[in-house]
């Protein structure tokens, strides 16, 4: 399963379902999902999302921790961050039916991993590594692998690899840099060759993106180092069609495919923006890049890439029985006199207005400039979750969501109203005149 493969490496915030499916379409043989902390997974609720045809593991606040679909079930490897063998086993048993394999992250150099005794912190604890891997192998029917970085000394690195092999793992992925080496520094191919020479299990090369421009480069790298497979991260982020044989397509074409999957599987706006940050050549120029990534409405980003109609078409079709029942319950709960606003509102969106003119202030200024009466705001609370209300003249609007305080709820209902009525939301510093002040339309003009 892990020999002769061209593999997508796990990448935090990038390796979600839309990106994985895009890489599979362009020829990736396996795709590693972004790392999920095992303790976090154990707190999740699993649901079958009939609207998207996915299996979702939801956090306590309703956010998606991990989402997968049958399109990738035999290709996706779930990677966990963990420091406790029993916790690893519980998490693996929870996720195993929906993935092709389980991987343990033993190479992440980030502070959150190190402080949690996970990731690269495990590299100097071979006995704990063996306990985690042996425990996983004992409870899993799917292959178990791990991904490491090299250590400061060659001797320690080779010794660790043999210790890992002794546990019975199906394969070992090795990033050819230490935990202290920046990604801009060359990958150490010599140590990779030496690791392969002493191992009987498949060895997967990771860290070669600086030297990879197409699938042929990957093939040559496999030959050069003698490894069994290759795993690519940054080069795939720059252009997810890098797995395509013989050559990748244009970045813009690959991005359009990725964005279609984002629409299909409801990729959150902050993830979409983050992923777009490394798509080299997707924009006409730097100014276009800045303008698009500043948008705080998903639809506007899709419009830039010619997918506005597709976005609207998919959105209009999402009227499943589950959603209809959900909206029915909303109407019953809020009362028929309220107009329910719908918008994609995440904490990241609202937090982006810190130090800026907030949506409520932008709306108030727009209403005043266009001859509306002064709006009224209030909230209701149920189980410590707030619903925001907005009354403008004789119309009352409600915005439900997972809002933890009154301020957030009223900002959310203001934000949603602005989107519905095409009132431009921009990030203006406090004290600046907004576009709503300087370029208002009259009330009758819409």
The residues carrying an active-site annotation are: 108
| Cis before 246 (ω within 30) | yes
Give the DSSP H/E element, type plus range, for residue 94.
helix 85-95
Rounded-to-integer distance, Cα 171 and Cα 174, Å: 10
Distance of CA 338 to the CA centre of its chain: 34
Distance of CA 423 to the CA centre of its chain: 29
Rounded-to-integer distance, Cα 82 and Cα 149, Å: 16
Rounded-to-integer distance, Cα 305 and Cα 254, Å: 11
Picking from 393, 387, 439, the residue whose alpha carbon sits closest to that of residue 412 is 387
Give the DSSP H/E element, type plus range, for residue 119.
none
Rounded-to-integer distance, Cα 99 and Cα 36, Å: 14
- Return all residues near 241 (Cβ < 8 A) that are at least 6 apart: 22, 26, 248, 249, 253, 254, 257
Q: How many CA atoms lie within 13 A of 255 on its CB side?
A: 23
Contact 339, 409 (CB under 8 A): no
Residue 3 carries which DSSP code?
Answer: S
Q: How many CA atoms lie within 13 A of 6 on its CB side?
A: 24
Rounded-to-integer distance, Cα 320 and Cα 344, Å: 18
């Amino acid at each position: 399963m892990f020999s002769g493969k061209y593999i997508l490496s796990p990448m935090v915030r990038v390796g979600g379902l839309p990106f994985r499916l895009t890489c599979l379409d362009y020829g990736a043989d396996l795709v590693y999902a972004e790392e999920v902390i095992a303790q976090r997974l154990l707190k999740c609720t699993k649901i079958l999302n009939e609207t998207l045809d996915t299996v979702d593991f939801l956090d306590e606040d309703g956010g998606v921790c991990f989402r997968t679909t049958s399109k990738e079930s035999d290709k996706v490897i779930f990677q966990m961050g963990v420091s406790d063998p029993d916790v690893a086993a519980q998490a693996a048993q929870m996720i195993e039916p929906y993935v092709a394999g389980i991987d343990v992250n033993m190479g992440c150099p980030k502070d959150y991993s190190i402080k949690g005794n996970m990731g690269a912190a495990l590299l100097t604890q071979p006995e704990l590594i063996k306990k985690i891997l042996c425990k996983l192998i004992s409870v899993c029917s799917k292959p178990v692998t791990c991904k490491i970085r090299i250590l400061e000394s060659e001797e320690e690195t080779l010794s660790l690899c043999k210790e890992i092999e002794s546990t019975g793992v199906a394969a070992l992925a090795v990033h050819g840099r230490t935990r202290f080496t920046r990604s801009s520094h060359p990958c150490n191919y010599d140590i990779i060759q030496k690791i392969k020479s002493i191992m009987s299990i498949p060895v997967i090369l990771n860290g070669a993106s600086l030297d990879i421009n197409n699938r042929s480069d990957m093939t040559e790298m496999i030959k050069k180092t003698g490894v069994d497979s290759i795993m690519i991260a940054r080069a795939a982020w720059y252009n997810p069609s890098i797995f395509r044989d013989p050559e990748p397509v244009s970045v813009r074409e690959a991005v359009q495919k990725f964005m279609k999957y984002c629409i299909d599987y409801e990729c959150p706006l902050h993830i979409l923006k983050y992923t777009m940050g490394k798509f080299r050549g997707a924009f006409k120029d730097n100014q276009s890049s800045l303008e698009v990534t500043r948008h705080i409405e998903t639809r506007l980003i899709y419009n830039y890439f010619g997918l506005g109609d597709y976005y609207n078409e998919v959105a209009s079709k999402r009227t499943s029985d589950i959603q209809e029942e959900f909206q029915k319950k909303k109407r019953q709960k809020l009362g028929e006199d309220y107009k329910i606003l719908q918008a994609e509102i995440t904490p990241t969106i609202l937090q982006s207005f810190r130090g800026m003119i907030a949506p409520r202030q932008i709306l108030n200024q727009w209403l005043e400039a266009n001859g509306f009466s002064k709006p009224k705001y209030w909230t209701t609370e149920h189980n410590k979750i707030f619903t925001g209300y907005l009354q403008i003249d004789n119309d009352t609007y409600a915005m439900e969501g997972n809002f933890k305080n009154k301020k957030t709820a009223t900002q959310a209902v203001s934000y949603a109203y602005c989107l519905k009525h095409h009132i431009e939301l921009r990030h203006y510093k406090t004290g600046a005149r907004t576009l709503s002040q300087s370029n208002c339309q009259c009330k009758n003009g819409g």
